[in-house]
Amino acid sequence: MENLKIDISKVSGFVSDKAIDDYEQLANESLKALYKKSGKGSDFLGWVELPDTITDEFLSDVEATAASLKAKADYVVVVGIGGSYLGARAVIDALNNSFDWLQTKRENPVILYAGQNIGEDYTSELLNFLSDKSFAVVVISKSGTTTEPAIAFRLLKELVEEKFGKNGAKDRIVAITDASRGALRTLADQEGYKTYVIPDDVGGRYSVLTPVGLLPIAVAGFDIRQLVKGAVDMKGLTSPEVPFKENPASLYAATRNELYKNGKAIEIMVNYQPKLHFVTEWWKQLYGESEGKDNKGIFPAGVDFSTDLHSMGQWIQEGVRNIFETVLTIKTANETLKVPSDCANLDGLNFLAGKRIDEVNKMAELGTLIAHLDGGVPNIKIELPQLNEYYLGQMIYFYEIACGISGYILGVNPFDQPGVEAYKKNMFALLEKPGFEAETKAMRQRIK
| Residue 49 designated active-site | no
Measured from the CB atom, the residue of 10 and 205 that comes closer to ligand PA5 is 205
| 51 vs 203 by CB, closer to ligand PA5 | 203
With beta carbons less than 8 A apart as the criterion, state whether 315 and 341 touch. no
Q: Of 181, 177, 219, which Cα lies nearest the Cα of 65?
A: 219
Among 55-63, 142-150, 224-232, 318-326, which window interacts with ligand PA5 (CB under 6 A)? 142-150
**Residue 210 binding ligand PA5, by CB under 6 A:** no
Selected from 51, 82, 211, 216, the binder of ligand PA5 by CB under 6 A is 82
Figure out which of the listed residues 89, 142, 235, 381 binds ligand PA5, where binding follows CB under 6 A.
142
SS3 136: strand
How far apart CA 140 and CA 213 sit, in angstroms, is: 10
The active-site residue out of 310, 335, 421, 448 is 310
Among 20, 30, 62, 84, binds ligand PA5 (CB under 6 A): 84
- Distance (Å, rounded) from C-alpha 159 to C-alpha 138? 14
**Residue 36's Cα: distance from chain center in Å?**
26
Using CA atoms, how far apart are residues 365 and 305, in angstroms rounded to an integer? 8
Helix 389-410, helix 224-237: angle, nearest 10? 40
Strand stretches in 149-238, DSSP E: 173-177, 194-197
Task: Establish if 205 lies at the interface with ligand PA5 (CB under 6 A).
Answer: yes
- Tell me whether residue 240 or residue 292 sits nearer to ligand PA5 (CB atom): 292
| DSSP label of 108 | S
368 binds ligand PA5 (CB under 6 A): no
Q: How far apart are CA 137 and CA 158, in angstroms?
A: 12
Smallest separation (angstroms) from ligand PA5 to the CB of 204: 2
Output 110 or 402, the one with its CB closest to ligand PA5: 402
Q: Could you say whether residue 204 binds ligand PA5 (CB under 6 A)?
A: yes
String of contacts with ligand PA5 for each residue 144-163, x by CB under 6 A: --x--x--------------
Rg (CA), the chain: 23
Q: How far apart are CA 253 and CA 401, in angstroms?
A: 9
For residues 396 and 87, is the Cβ–Cβ distance under 8 A?
yes
Q: Pick the catalytic residue: 148, 267, 281, 289?
A: 289
Q: Which is nearer to ligand PA5, 194 or 372 (CB)?
A: 194
Going from the C-alpha of 189 to that of each of 66, 173, 186, 201, the distances in angstroms are: 20, 12, 5, 22
Residue type, position 213, single letter: G
Establish if 141 lies at the interface with ligand PA5 (CB under 6 A). yes
Stretch of 82-90, 219-227, 296-304, 370-378 lying at the interface with ligand PA5 (CB under 6 A) = 82-90
- In the complex, the smallest distance separating the C-beta of residue 54 from ligand PA5, rounded to whole angstroms, is 20
289 part of the active site:
yes
Q: What is the DSSP letter of 38?
A: -
Residues 6+ apart with CB under 8 A from 251: 6, 8, 20, 244, 245
Contact indicator for 325, 372 with CB cutoff of 8 Å:
yes
Q: 133, 296, 424, 425: which one is catalytic?
A: 424
Residue 89 interacting with ligand PA5 (CB under 6 A): no
Contacting range for ligand PA5; rule: CB under 6 A; set: 140-148, 232-240, 331-339, 343-351: 140-148
Which member of 41, 109, 203, 300 binds ligand PA5 (CB under 6 A)?
203
Which residue is nearest to ligand PA5, using beta carbons? 204
Least distance in Å: CB of 184 to ligand PA5?
8
Q: Return the residues of window 271-290 that contact ligand PA5 according to CB under 6 A.
A: 289
- Does residue 28 contact residue 250 with C-beta atoms inside 8 Å? yes
Q: Is 83 in the site for ligand PA5 (CB under 6 A)?
A: yes
State the nearest-atom distance from the C-beta of 293 to ligand PA5, in Å: 13
C-alpha dist (Å) from residue 339 to 24, 232, 275, 310, 349: 46, 39, 21, 22, 9
Query: Does residue number 195 form part of the binding site for ligand PA5 (CB under 6 A)?
Result: no
Of these, 417, 429, 436, 443, which contacts ligand PA5 (CB under 6 A)? 417
Calculate the alpha carbon distances from 226 to 51, 54, 103, 117 in Å.
11, 12, 26, 31
**Total binding residues toward ligand PA5, as defined by CB under 6 A:** 14
Distance CA 321, CA 351 (A): 36
Active site (annotated) includes residue 365: no
The closest alpha carbon to 126, from 86, 98, 156, 164, belongs to 156
426 lines the binding site for ligand PA5 (CB under 6 A):
no
Q: What residues are labeled active site? A: 289, 310, 424
Binding site for ligand PA5 (CB under 6 A): 81-84, 141-143, 146, 149, 203-205, 289, 417
